[in-house]
Copies of this chain bind each other. A is one copy, B any other.
Amino acid sequence: MAKPLNIGMIGYGFMGRAHSNAYRKVNHFFDLEHEPVLKAVCARDAAKAQAFADKWGYESIETDWRKLIARPDIDAVDICTPNNLHRDIALAAAAAGKMILCEKPLAMNVAEGEEMTAAVEKAGVPNIVWYNYRRVPAVTLAKKLIEEGRLGRIFHYRAVFLQDWTISTDLPQGGTALWRLDAAAAGSGVTGDLLAHCIDTALWLNGSISTVSAMTETFIKERKHTLTGKVEPVKIDDACAFLARFDNGSLATFESTRYARGHKALYTFEINGEKASIQWDLHDLHRLNYFDHGDESKLRGWRSIHVTDHGGGHPYMDKWWVPGLQIGYEHSFVHQVADFLEGVAKGQPVGPTFRDALETQKVCDAVLSSAQSGSWVKV
């Protein structure tokens, strides 16, 4: 029988659900030494915490995250709060010797991120950040292809993350539901929320970014604030685009926005190498597009790979259904839990660690700084 690994979750929003689902499912599909146990969920509002616990089968609730961290029956702390609480919780959890699974972006800024990274490394606790898209099978396959050297020298990287949910001027900012629009809770707008995903994937697939030139814009300048009830200036970036150069000599463009009408969560990336190119798209996440210049010339074309095969080496897919049957968004979290637990069993770190996520934070900070100064900024 699998050994229990007791989870204490702080926060219960969209990510709280995605993580809880992953903990509940993982052992049905993966053979693991450990099994997550939903020990406690923590939220300031006891009624809401209890409702969430009932829904997902958490054994207990807490209303003070410090108490949750202090509990000896908690092995791992899962941080699903708004960004402005990540640092304090992570430092306390590390000090208490807990494993930490932290939502992205790691921190409000590089300074916080460095503190947090130092803390987990000093404590020697397993730590991971929920950049879940690395573990969409098509994305993991892309990584594999790059590691196998199939793309050759890389010339170009381009990524966008496009949404359209904040176009209406009637949408308020702040509060539980809309903290992502409140700079005090979120730190930044699309840069930390969406571009951070693009950057994490890019660093993973294509190595370090050396310099960036960015621009940001806030299209709707004022919105009613949910907490104060008043119309207040919007301080987050509604859109952000930047040029970048990677250490490997490739050029990149990155863009994200919540004002791209027609796109709900269109995260796409494309990598052009000397020998082959790759495209991926979150709206059809179970497919990878691949162009191989090595193909016979009259038969060259972009291959639409339905990443659902088993024997074929499609990552993770042998754990699920049968070839041709797609999985979805939630499965990336299940894969992350499975890999994390395997790392725990082997005593090995599993990325993206806090240190990996700190690199993403550095790019985010450089991007915001460049957007402000109008100059190229070194990461």
Spell out A's residues near B (CB within 8 Å).
1, 14, 17-18, 20-21, 24-25, 27-28, 54-56, 141, 144-145, 155-156, 158, 160, 162-165, 167, 213-215, 217, 219, 239, 241-243, 245, 249, 251, 253, 255, 257, 259-266, 272-277, 282-293, 295, 297-306, 308-309, 311-314, 320-331, 374-376
Contact = CB atoms under 8 A, between A and B. Distances in A.
A219 B245 CA distance: 13
A262 B291 contact: yes
B251 A155 contact: no
Contacts of A255: 156, 158, 253
Contacts of A305: 298-301
9 contacts: A14-B322, A155-B219, A253-B255, A261-B293, A262-B276, A262-B277, A264-B308, A292-B299, A301-B306
Contacts of A253: 241, 253, 255
Nearest to A283: B306
**Of residues A17, A56, A329, A374, which shows the largest number of chain B Cβ atoms within 10 Å of its Cβ?**
A329
A54 B32 CA distance: 13
A272 B219 CA distance: 13
A331 B328 CA distance: 9
Nearest to A293: B261
Contacts of A158: 160, 255
Contacts of A320: 330
A28 B14 contact: no
Contacts of A165: 323
B323 A329 contact: no
Contacts of A330: 320-321, 327
B301 A277 contact: no
Residues of A contacting B: mostly: mixed
Nearest to A310: B297
Given A239-B251, A283-B306, A374-B376, A297 B312 contact: yes
A213 B272 CA distance: 22
A289 B326 CA distance: 18
Given A257-B155, A326-B329, A290 B284 contact: no
Given A21-B28, A282-B324, A241 B243 contact: yes
A297 to B, nearest CB: 3
Contacts of A162: 272
B265 A328 contact: no
Contacts of A245: 215
B215 A324 contact: no
Given A215-B243, A303-B301, A259 B272 contact: yes
A245 B214 CA distance: 12
A363 to B, nearest CB: 16
A1 B215 CA distance: 52
Contact of A299 (B27, B303, B322, B375): B303
Nearest to A150: B299
B324 A327 contact: no
Most buried by B among A1, A243, A323, A327: A243
Contacts of A302: 262, 303-304
Contacts of A299: 145, 290, 292, 303, 305
B28 A265 contact: no
A156 B260 contact: yes
A253 B244 CA distance: 12
A276 B297 contact: no
